[in-house]
Amino acid sequence: MAWAIWLSYATISAANIVTPGPANLNTLRRALQFGFAPVLPTIFGNALGLAIGGILCAGGVAAFVVTSEALWMTFRWLGVMYLGGLGLKLILKRESIVLGAGTIQHISPQTLFREAFLLAVTNPKALLFYLALFPQALDPSRSLWPQSILLVLTYCSLSILSLSSYALLAEKVRERFLTQARYDVFRVCSGLALLGFALMLAVQAS
């Protein structure tokens, strides 16, 4: 793979990753609630979900799912249901921010990891991105798997960098301005945004 092609892929990936989406909102919310360090499982759970999507795409499984209308619709509606459920949960369930080092964190790292992982694997945004960009970036005259792994690692690394930046920014905001009331407003707005993403997917799937 030529350096220029990889650089173009990385640039397009970065633009796609930093745009507001469910993963960014979820990471911001958790970082406002707990701070930067406790949301590392969120960041890496998302990265694993993206990596699995990339590997499936490289192996042709994702292409098969897209060409099978029934499987693709099932995949899309699973994403709609998970995003919608998470959005409703944010609106209806009260969460407390952790303001001091001595405060007990009621959500385990495993729960944060699983939440972000499921959000990543049920969101078709990354899968569609892989399917659109892989054929443009891969050199068919060379071994495809090393190139595919490089592209997946590039995307996941940029995602980790982006979400870490969001989380660090959220921690700075939380240290200076955050109160429980402001967090509640942000949480409800995040829930409404996730419901908006779910509705958009539902309209596209109809």
The DSSP annotation for 177-197 comes to T--HHHHHHHHHHHHHHHHHH
State residue 102's pLDDT score: 43
In tens digits, what is the pLDDT along the chain, a chain of 206 residues? 788 889 989 998 998 888 778 899 999 999 998 989 999 999 999 999 999 989 988 887 666 766 777 877 887 787 788 778 878 888 888 777 766 544 445 688 999 999 999 999 887 777 888 877 887 788 878 888 888 999 999 999 999 999 999 999 998 888 788 777 878 888 888 888 878 878 887 887 66
Closest to 18 (Cα-Cα) out of 161, 119, 130? 161
- Cα–Cα distance, 19 to 66 (Å, whole number): 24
- Cα–Cα distance, 100 to 19 (Å, whole number): 31
Does the pTM exceed 0.75? yes
Residue 60: CA atoms inside 13 Å, Cβ hemisphere, count?
2
